[in-house]
Chains A and B, each alone.
Chain A
Amino acid sequence: MSRALIAGAALTALFVLAAALSFAWTPGDVAAMNIAERLQPPSAEHWLGTDHFGRDMLSMIMIGARTSIAVALVAVGIGMGLGVPLGLAAAANRGGWLDEVISRGSDLVFAFPSLVIAILITAIFGPGAVNAILAIGIFNIPVFARLTRGAAMALWSREFIMAARVAGKRGPRISVEHVLPNLANLLIVQGTIQFSLGILAEAGLSYVGLGAQPPIPSWGRMLADAQTMVSLAPHVAIIPGLAIVLMVLGLNLLGDGLRDRLDPRLNAVRA
């Protein structure tokens, strides 16, 4: 195992565990405000200090991890769940009208950056975690559709697929039996990358107020709240940012490590 893989897996596991633990226990109560203890630097009692309402930052970070992971994971799920079948169908139908529709559709969705999708959705339905998931998820669909289509097209010209066709198998069956298993590694790697991009996107959306709404803690909004306190208590701005960086770094290292381990020839795209 490469060092990148170990470091990435460890960092990712750390955040996932912290998020899981937060369901059962957090060091402090994030609902309770304590103005007397506001903006305290890290100490023995509050390992990561307190925010402008005197809430324990470590607890906020733990629950924020939960929000981030949930949003990014579901968004990647949406992207994979819809994008992969679309990509498989397009490749099985290569050159046909279905392929054309799926490819043009992907291009079209790509013309809407995820933030623009989020803006449209919030403009109509109002802000919230679900809408953030939708916005990031919709943007992930063409990512997976394109990746799947491209890789599946290359497989469709391979002789083992020809052999399956000679054995009388048809598009859907070949896609599931022969194409998908050979894309699994690629999809795992790209899934990791999209997961990390999802964390960044969620943070961005909640920073501008389009993500999870109060009182649900989220890293992006912790940063938004911290913006006016930067000069008073830098730690309130630095700590949530570091949490994002470490989580994303962990996922990226994990993705790179997996790529090298699973198949050195894979070239996942950061889109």
Chain B
Amino acid sequence: MTRLASSFWRKSPGAREGQRRSPPSPDTGAALLELDDLSVAIAGKPVLRKVRLAIAPGEIVALTGESGSGKSMTALAAMGLLPPGARTEGAIRLAGRDLITLGDRALCAVRGAEIGMIFQEPMTALNPVQRIGDQVAETIRIHAPRTPRAEVLSQAARTLARVGLPAERVPPTRYPHELSGGQRQRVGIAMAIALRPRMLIADEPTTALDVTTQARILGLLRRLVQEDGMALMMITHDLAVVADMADRIAVMNEGRIVEEAPTTRLFREMRHPYTRALFEASRHRASLPPRPAGEPLLQVHDAYRSYALPRTRLLGSAPRHEAVRGVSFDIGLGERVGLVGESGCGKSTLTRAILGLEPLQRGSITLDGRDVATDPAARRRMQVVFQDPYGSFNPRHRVRRLITEPFHLLDDPPKGAARDDAVAEALEAVGLDPSVADRTIHAFSGGQRQRLAIARALIIRPDLLIFDEAVSALDVRVRARILDLVADLSTRFGLAYLFISHDLSVVRGITDRVMVMQAGEIVERGPTDAVFDAPRHAYTQTLMAAAPRLPEIGQDEPVA
């Protein structure tokens, strides 16, 4: 099991820290962590079924799959942190010792010292009322209670420095809320590795982070694994994230590992259809028949919006955060435009302003010459699809009432049979059966809800749709189908849309033209392929370099 020219997948070296380790040799001793026919049932419902997985010291193994596939449960089972009421069968062996048979006291001695774990949400994984230095120190103190306080603290400070938080720049006396998301995740990593455990488990460690931050955190993990010779179990829903990092990948579905192989071989062979389906869906690009842009429809001119920040001085004015700083762009009839940017770049504020929900302090936003903030005639021609499939419907209403809500914008909304026809038509357009109109929203899955959201947007036949992170909460296979639907509807109805997303690969597959936003300004714009293939602005270049990418398959002989 040699690694085939993995450099093929590597990003430009500047974007990543650390060098690729030499691959572990399979003949140096037994596995460090071994899951042996591990089955877990919670409240009688099986969540893991006979999972077998072995991880050798120094090895990075990725566990991937869609939500509910059991990948996080596998991690929690390995930590002995399953929710109460879980029944476990099989064995979890760490260096030969079965953790399932250990009592909680013995397990506590293992957790943090021999296995460390990093969690997904850096926001909530840290105690908000404790200094970061103390939180890292706790790992040390809990396993060696007699260590003098000063020594514990200095060791904690050294660990923080090691993960990129040197005391002179980020003092250990800070509280979590004073740190950025990436810095918080670094604290989480510091807590996990403070005692240099042999095994590290990372559960979606970068999912909540921006791509550039993600790249740095992945680089840090790679470096730590290499320096300490740790084994790393990396759990992620995103194949691309682990494509150039993992030595081996295990694909999970419905509590089972359906395929497991060294990374290169897995991507080359993809023996299981589920793996192939995941892979295809991850890099899915919708079919966008070329079409000329029509007359300008949406015109954003010098839009500016700032917010007051909490006061930092006793006297004087409060500082302001400039969320959108003089943005101008047009979207023509039938145009398919993307807007990408990291969190805090101002894209949400801009979106709300376009929807007429947020007043501007300067500039104008018009739809066909009418002001979106004041003129109902403008709003009538524009609708929106939001991110959260579970939050975008009033749980107390039925589908019919939910999707006809935009009729409120019409002076003379259809009634009776005409209304029923409109409902049926909208539902059929998004691929749902018209009979679902009388159901409550609880009956629908996430993907179906996004279809309903699109039906709601379509029902007044708008000319422009705004997709605000509309597929970000969906699993890859569902996401691919929704993207196809969007492209298809756009073609059928000649719809223009603005597709806003933090996910570059999604925007690439669904737009003709793209704008890149940073710190309240649009720093680069142009045809999607051109911007993605040859970014000119430095920020766009960083962004593209940091974005995880899947290997091209079909090219069995990579050009090294």
Contact = CB atoms under 8 A, between A and B. Distances in A.
Interface of A: 158-160, 162-169, 178, 181-182
A181 B405 contact: no
A185 to B, nearest CB: 10
Nearest to B392: A159
A166 B406 contact: yes
B379 A168 contact: yes
Contact of A163 (B356, B379, B396, B456): B456
Given A166-B357, A168-B379, A160 B409 contact: no
A167 B409 contact: yes
B242 to A, nearest CB: 31
B403 to A, nearest CB: 10
23 contacts: A159-B386, A159-B388, A159-B392, A160-B391, A160-B394, A162-B355, A162-B357, A162-B386, A162-B392, A163-B386, A163-B392, A163-B405, A163-B453, A165-B355, A166-B355, A166-B379, A166-B383, A166-B384, A167-B409, A168-B376, A168-B408, A181-B394, A181-B396
B391 A182 contact: no
Interface in B366-400: 376, 379, 383-384, 386-388, 391-396
Contacts of B408: 167-169
A27 to B, nearest CB: 47
Contacts of A167: 405-409
A182 B395 contact: yes
Q: Give the interface centre of A158, A165, A167, A181 by most chain B CB atoms within 10 Å.
A: A167
Contacts of B407: 167
A169 B379 CA distance: 11
Nearest to A181: B396
A182 B396 CA distance: 7
Contacts of A158: 391-392
Contacts of B388: 159
A173 B396 CA distance: 16
Contacts of B456: 163
* Max chain A Cβ within 10 angstroms of own Cβ: one of B388, B396, B407: B396
A152 to B, nearest CB: 13
A262 B267 CA distance: 49
Contacts of B357: 162, 165-166
A178 B401 CA distance: 12
Choose among A159, A162, A165, A182 the residue with the greatest number of B CB atoms under 10 Å from its CB: A159
B472 to A, nearest CB: 13
A255 to B, nearest CB: 21
B449 to A, nearest CB: 11
Interface string B405-442: 11111000000000000000000000000000000000
Contact of A160 (B379, B392, B406): B392
B376 A163 contact: no
A204 B409 CA distance: 54
A179 to B, nearest CB: 9
Given A159-B391, A163-B392, A182-B394, A168 B386 contact: no
Contacts of A181: 394, 396
Interface in B446-464: 453, 456
Nearest to B384: A166
A128 to B, nearest CB: 42
A20 B357 CA distance: 52
Contacts of B409: 167-168
Q: Which of A159, A163, A168 has the most CB of B within 10 A?
A: A163
Nearest 8 pairs of A and B residues by beta carbon: A159-B392, A159-B386, A168-B409, A159-B391, A167-B406, A167-B405, A181-B396, A167-B408
A109 to B, nearest CB: 28
Nearest to B406: A167
Contacts of B379: 166, 168
B500 to A, nearest CB: 14
A32 B278 CA distance: 86
A86 B356 CA distance: 26
Contacts of B356: 166
B376 to A, nearest CB: 6
Nearest to A165: B357
A160 B386 CA distance: 9
A165 B394 CA distance: 13
A10 to B, nearest CB: 29
A177 to B, nearest CB: 8
A165 B354 CA distance: 13
B355 A159 contact: no
A109 B387 CA distance: 40
- Most A CB contacts (10 A, CB to CB) among B356, B393, B405 go to B405
A167 to B, nearest CB: 4
User: Could you say which of B355, B387, B394 has the most chain A C-beta atoms within 10 Å of its C-beta?
Assistant: B394
B191 to A, nearest CB: 30
Given A159-B391, A164-B405, A168-B406, 19 more contacts: A158-B391, A158-B392, A159-B386, A160-B391, A163-B384, A163-B386, A163-B453, A164-B394, A165-B355, A166-B357, A166-B383, A167-B406, A167-B407, A168-B376, A168-B379, A168-B408, A169-B405, A181-B396, A182-B395
Contacts of A165: 355, 357
A124 to B, nearest CB: 43
B267 to A, nearest CB: 37
A267 B409 CA distance: 36
Interface in B341-366: 355-357
Given A165-B357, A182-B396, A159 B387 contact: yes
Given A162-B357, A166-B357, A167-B406, A178 B391 contact: no
Contacts of A182: 394-396
Interface string B492-536: 000000000000000000000000000000000000000000000
A164 B386 CA distance: 12
A188 to B, nearest CB: 14
A158 B395 CA distance: 11
B4 to A, nearest CB: 45
Nearest to B441: A160
A210 to B, nearest CB: 42
B411 to A, nearest CB: 11
A158 B396 CA distance: 14
A165 B405 CA distance: 10
B384 A160 contact: no
Contacts of A164: 394, 405
A158 B390 CA distance: 10
Contacts of A169: 405, 408
A167 B405 CA distance: 6
Given A163-B456, A167-B405, A178 B394 contact: yes
